[in-house]
Amino acid sequence: MFDLDLVASYKVQYSFANFIHYSFPADFDLAKSEPPLEYDPLYYEYSTSQKNPEKNRRQGIPVGTIDNMIEALLKYDNHGNPQVLSLGEFTRLFTPTVNTTFATMVSLFIRFHPSTSPVLWRILLAQAHIYQSIITSSRPEELNITLFEEEKRRKYFDWRQSNEKEISDDVVLRQPFKAVKNYFNMVKTEYIEQMSV
């Protein structure tokens, strides 16, 4: 086991990786984050006959399923050391049909749209913030999450098409970002407390 306290930047990178790992299972937390969304999922699969998919369809992935997907991307050498599959190995194993291990992930993105999957949209925004934080971290020893505060940066996340312009900027460019910021404030505090024990 490696002691993360030996090198501060390793601990921060590990923390970012953990935030990514636990972002898909955070669907309920992100749905509750202010401003909250109605979210009471009954099933995973998408159906055109589905009523209110934005609140009735599960938009996250349980941590056990995430772990199974990660495990499926590994192979082991003769000494039991894990190695990540190459793209060719992955393609041979998982196409043309999707392995059941990845079926949950695939089903999330069938007919994905932020208006019908607003919780998943919050998850993806949270991940975008984390990846941006990894890229722009000027002090790799500090756990700082870069938030897209300025409207001009948020415009790249404006998903409205020409027939959706009646949807307000508040719904598209403010509420989801506010929810993600509130979520990070909550989890960062909890995470720092856990890491300092």
Q: Is the pTM of this model over 0.75?
A: yes
pLDDT, position 154: 87
Q: What is the mean pLDDT of residues 94-110?
A: 78
- pLDDT tens digits for 122-133? 999 999 999 888
Domain for residue 3, yes or no? no
Please give the residue range of the domain that contains residue 172.
8-195
pLDDT, tens digit, 9 for 90 and up, residues 63-88:
999 999 999 899 999 999 999 999 99
In a domain, 80, yes or no: yes
Q: What CA dihedral angle connects 30, 32, 37 and 38, to 10 degrees?
A: 120
Residue 1 lies inside a defined structural domain of this protein: no
Per-residue three-class SS string for 88-137 = HHHHHHHCCCCCHHHHHHHHHHCCCCCCCCHHHHHHHHHHHHHHHHHHHC
| Cα separation of the two ends of the chain | 17
Q: Give yes or no for residue 22 having a pLDDT over 70.
A: yes
The verdict on residue 122 lying in a domain is: yes
Distance CA 103, CA 56 (A): 19
Beta bridge partners of 57: 43
Provide the percentage of residues in the chain whose pLDDT is more than 90: 43
99 compared with 157, residue with greater pLDDT: 157
Q: What is the pLDDT of residues 162-183, one digit of tens each?
A: 899 899 999 999 999 999 999 9
The structure tokens listed for 170 are 């508040």
Q: Hey, what long-range contacts does 124-132 have (CB within 8 A, 24 or more apart)?
A: 125/157, 125/176, 125/177, 125/180, 126/19, 126/23, 126/26, 126/30, 126/180, 126/183, 126/184, 127/20, 127/23, 128/157, 129/180, 129/184, 130/16, 130/19, 130/20, 130/23, 131/20
Mean pLDDT of 132-146: 74
Residue 54 confidence class, pLDDT cut points 50, 70, 90: confident
Q: Over range 96-112, report the average pLDDT.
A: 80
Q: How many domains does the chain have?
A: 1
- pLDDT at residue 196, rounded to an integer: 54
Does residue 2 lie in a domain region? no
- Do residues 123 and 27 make contact, with C-beta atoms less than 8 angstroms apart? yes
